[in-house]
Amino acid sequence: MNTTIKYSLLSISLFISEQALAAAEDDPLLTKFMVNQLERREAEGDNPIAWDAQAWVGKDLHKLWLKSEGEYTNGNTEESELQLLYSRAVAPFWDFQAGWRGDLESGPERHWLALGFQGLAPYYFETEPFLFLGEHGQIELRLEAEYEMLFTQRLVLTPEIEISAFSKNDEAVGVGSGLSEAEFSLRLRYEIRREFAPYIGINWWKKYSKTADFAREEGEETDDVNLVVGIRLWF
């Protein structure tokens, strides 16, 4: 191999190495942990602790997400949902997410294939439309949306809504076909720092159709309004 070819190959190798290092610097591995809600809800008879937390690790286009939410009452975990998702950026401010969801509360466990999007809709609504494919042909459609209203640089009001519907009855876990449950909340937080903000608010929820019938048969409430006090933090 003559000297000219050797120097050409060496130059190409150095160029590729420099580009790879530059790409690595431009797209570093990042992590984030967020507790969107950690709150005590004032309810008649019980005062449950509710949480909604997320964590992710990855780069600009590809991430691995872990999501957890649930409710803890009188020493027992009444509700607990865990999701492990692969996330791929598909448009500015929008990610496609797919993976596993497990309902792990004190009752029959349910496992789902999760498919959905997470992103910023027009007018800056943070939106999560998801489709969950469960066992024995069960399907759940869920829509979550929230909006941040800044009164000052530190005082922020966040309205949030969540609606879910199912394709069929699952009496073992108290779920009926059709529109199942809707939840609406308002939380007013004060950001002592961007990463730490206590808040107060109200949370209203209501069960519908066959889901409400299953709740009545168990002597449970079908709707309620709770005062909430909590913290929001991330790092």
The mean predicted confidence, pLDDT, of the chain is 89
- A 10 A CB-CB count for 58 gives 18
Q: Is-contact 222 206, C-beta < 8 A?
A: yes
Q: 180-211, pLDDT tens digit by residue?
A: 999 999 999 999 999 999 999 999 999 999 99
How remote is the C-alpha of 192 from its chain's centroid? Answer: 24
pTM here is: 0.86
3-state secondary structure of 61: coil
**pLDDT value at 122 more than 80:** yes
Spatial distance between the Cα atoms of 120 and 117, rounded to a whole number of angstroms: 10
Q: 36-70, pLDDT tens digit by residue?
A: 999 999 877 678 999 999 999 999 899 999 999 99
Phi-psi region of 74 (alpha: psi -120 to 50; beta: other; left: phi over 0): left
For 30-234, give the CATH class: mainly beta
In 48-177, the DSSP E strands lie at 49-58, 62-73, 76-91, 94-103, 110-121, 125-133, 139-146, 149-150, 155-166
